[in-house]
Structure 1
Amino acid sequence: MEISDPDQTISLNITHFPQNLLIPSNDNKIIIQATNRFNKQALFKFAFEAENLNLNIPDELQKDTIEFGPGESKTVEIKLTPIVDGFGKLSMFVNWMKIVEYTVKVKKVRNSIVDSQINNILQKQTLSASKFTDDFNLDDFIIKMTKDEIKQLEKELEKKKKEYESLHLENSTNDSDKKRKKNKDSIEEIEIDEMGLSSEIEDISRKLVKGYLSNKDLEKALELALELP
């Protein structure tokens, strides 16, 4: 008896089937010849189901796939053992495992480049440095000063700081009686003077930082720069 699937991918020919009543003590076996109908290699997967029967299936048939060469036939033997009185049922499934292959273009990234290749590239390519679009003004960062000029600026800075502290203390005093005696105009004048002194202190400090840099006194330049707003 021959069983073939509609696509004619594989044919199954049962060459032996027990013709007697199945008895556990007997050798009840089914022999099947499976033939690959393709003219090329093919993979098939076999599966079995049974009702009222125990199946002894060869290890080869229990693999995920079985490889058949072009037109190759394989003979398999299955043993049946009844487990109840009545009728037994054996179902066999064969799936064609189609091999799908994709071809893609790949390119390996180099792990290293030899010096000769780099030299060849540099000989063919001209490298040029980009030009600055903004002019660099040295005076924005450094002002040449003598040590005497720096000392004079330091004294002026200390003087302005003391004036600012005195004025700020006068404006922020907690004496409520004094605040009541001050009119609005005098308070505004003090605040304006504070702002003016603060601006002068900032200008002098910036000049001193540039002077320190010109004399390579980096520590003082950094210390004063950190005080700037």
Structure 2
Amino acid sequence: MTEIMVVDDDHDLRESMAEVLGKAGFSVTQASRGEDALELLGKKNIDLILLDLVMPGLGGLELLGRIRDKAPRMPVIMITAFASVENAVAAMRQGASDYITKPFRIDGLLAAVGRVLEEARFESCRTSLDLDTVLSCLSNPLRREILAQVEQEGTLRFMDLCRKLELEDHTKMNFHLKILKEAGFLQQDENKLYLLTSLGTQVLGCVRFLMKKLAD
């Protein structure tokens, strides 16, 4: 489950955001001070941080710099009052992913979170994947269809895949499955069922994000 840390000294606002994010399916960690946030960052697997720009003690901009030192690729969304938008833009120049202004709508908060998480996943793919292998493997439409079917069903047997893709040539299916397995996108369990690897799931997420961006 995606873990989001909310860092804000305003207890009511922090609790409200945690409730909204929790109902949206996220796991939420809360911190009321910048120092606590840094400590939690070292202990938990955080995927995204919502960070108030103005806090007593360790302020948002300084904390952003500390976060960048500890976790350079951590996506951070700044929370700011409308009058402080210029400071939020300055924070983005220092590495923040986005900002939202208070008061904000629930749909605006969730849209910003979803957008930044998608971008973070794509960046993770870009930096961690062998793009030549990915592009070579997914250039074939049948292999893309195989991955999509396995993702949709969770697990599939060889014959079920052939039927779903209306492919009677089993030799051809075996050939493409072999390529997907060698690329690390597919695996088989002890019952010979095909399922996506974590790498395969990551690759499909990146492809969807890229296609969406190209369509926008």
TM-score (normalizing by structure 2):
0.21
Q: Which of structures 1 and 2 has the bigger CA Rg?
A: 1
